[in-house]
Amino acid sequence: MSPSGAQYQPPSQQDLDRARSDPKLANVLYHDWEAGSYDAKWSISYDQRCIDYAHDRYRHVVDASSAGDQADGPYVRALELGSGTGFFLLNLMQAGVAQQGTLTDISPGMVDVAVRNGRALGLTVDGRSADAEQLPFSDGSFDLVVGHAVLHHIPDVEQALREVLRVLVPGGRFVFCGEPTEHGDFVARRLSRLTWWTTKKITHLPALRARWARPKAELDASSQAAALEALVDLHTFDPDRLAATCMRAGAIDVHTVTEELTASWFGWPVRTFEAAVAPGVLGWGWANFAYRGWQRLSWLDEHLWSQVVPDEWFYNVCVTGRRP
């Protein structure tokens, strides 16, 4: 929604053409368009399920870092980059990690939704559209900077990290989670493509079409969104190289962890299947199966596979560090 409350429209062909050579414009167009339906699409909520999810991601990397046994928070002033609808910081605030939140995103549509979500939860938040490479805040403004699934969209990641360190107080911490690894992304994309293609074929069988197939107009809109999405995903990360980028930007106490191996082999096909069938046909039983399945596999990934499989094979990388 725009500040006036109007729904953002799908981008015009002219905008799409310009976005092909301008990843930041592509991000604004794509995420403005997605803002109103983003929480539903990604099953984002602000209840205990997502509070635990966000807090577990945060704790996993902070506890594993060399500073894990030092006092960590609660923080007073927290900033989120690429907040989207506020999933990460709003849920971390509800978990008690920070008291005041500033939600920023290059997409004004996302900032509107994030601030609305935060205020509806009774949290102390403000919001501002901002490019992570050029933050509109003075030096030392925040005690904590966080982000989830944002670094891979930023053209110059090292410049964004320099900005993060600039706006942190000395000793302040940053935590970025949910970034795709090179190997994890390679596998997830192939599994998703195969699922999309197979589901479309099966749901268009005459016996299933009426109930299961998504209307053509919706599939066309999905394909248009997918074309734009392909322009906004700029990077995948090797954990060691991501840590080196943070250190080049000036960070200390840098630490990475990776997460989700079999959980991502399950999760990506599940999400793709959900997007490819008619809305409303899957119901609560499916949602429960999908969530519990993902949860059990994540547990196995963390407690079993992480002991024997190289960390760069996992889907997500999280990184934390501090300003000297």
- The secondary structure element, H or E, covering residue 259 is strand 252-259
| Radius of gyration for the alpha carbons in the chain, expressed in angstroms and rounded | 20
Sign of CA dihedral 269, 189, 312, 143: negative
* Phi, psi at 43, each rounded to 5°: 50, 45
- Based on CB atoms, which residue is closest to ligand SAM, 84 or 213? 84
For residue 110, state whether it binds ligand SAM (rule: CB under 6 A): yes
Provide the β-strand partners of residue 320. Answer: 175, 255
Q: How far is the CB of 323 from ligand SAM (least distance, A)?
A: 19
**Residue carrying structure tokens 């599940």:** 270
* Distance (Å, whole) CA 111 – CA 104: 6
Rule CB under 6 A: choose which of 131, 253, 301, 302 binds ligand SAM. 131
x/- site string to ligand SAM, residues 259 to 298, per CB under 6 A?
A: ----------------------------------------
Rule CB under 6 A: choose which of 65, 83, 91, 245 binds ligand SAM. 83
- Determine if residue 295 is left, alpha or beta; phi over 0 gives left, psi from -120 to 50 gives alpha, anything else beta: alpha
Contacting range for ligand SAM; rule: CB under 6 A; set: 129-137, 166-174, 205-213, 270-278 = 129-137
Residue type, 229: E
Rule CB under 6 A: choose which of 33, 46, 75, 87 binds ligand SAM. 87
- Based on CB atoms, which residue is closest to ligand SAM, 32 or 253? 32
* Distance (Å, whole) CA 186 – CA 182: 6
Q: How far is the CB of 136 from ligand SAM (least distance, A)?
A: 11
Q: Contact at 8 Å (CB) between 315 and 259? A: yes
Contacting range for ligand SAM; rule: CB under 6 A; set: 4-12, 147-155, 294-302, 311-319 = 147-155
For residue 106, state whether it binds ligand SAM (rule: CB under 6 A): yes
Residues found near ligand SAM in the complex (CB under 6 A): 24, 27, 31, 81-84, 87-88, 105-107, 110, 131-133, 148-150, 153-154, 178
